[in-house]
Amino acid sequence: MREFALTQKLLEQALETAHSKKIKRVHLLIGSFSEEREDSIQFYWKDLAKGSPGDGAELHFDHVIPEMKCLGCSGMSYLDENEKECTCAYCCSDHLKLLVGEDVRLERIEFE
């Protein structure tokens, strides 16, 4: 049900931005560590947007590379999807905090 609430929030943001204009395409940023699934968001969007300017809009997902901060040395790094271990690139500590990469955000909207 998280995806339902998230999709409802994204649709509300899009409709507020659209000011009653017909929405053609919605660009979303989705983090690699996001628990939300693209197909679920699309399913809920289709249902929630019926009869609104967002009805029939195409959802386009761009993937965000996770950004980490080392809690040991404060070094900032990006996590490569091919990496087996998650350690700081500067001091090799495994005490990292994920800053970007586990959410879904509205990036931009295209109108007809």
Confidence of residue 1 (pLDDT cuts 50, 70, 90): low
pLDDT given at position 60: 97
Instruction: Find, among 71, 67, 66, the residue nearest to 93 by Cα.
Output: 71
pLDDT digits (tens, 9 = 90+) for 70-105: 999 999 988 776 665 778 889 989 899 999 888 899
The pTM for the full model equals 0.80
pLDDT given at position 83: 64
Mean pLDDT score of the chain: 91
Q: CATH 3.40.50.2000: does it fit domain 2-111? A: no
pLDDT given at position 101: 87
pLDDT given at position 102: 86
What's CA 75's distance to the chain center, in Å? 24
pLDDT digits (tens, 9 = 90+) for 45-78: 999 999 999 999 999 999 988 899 999 999 998 8
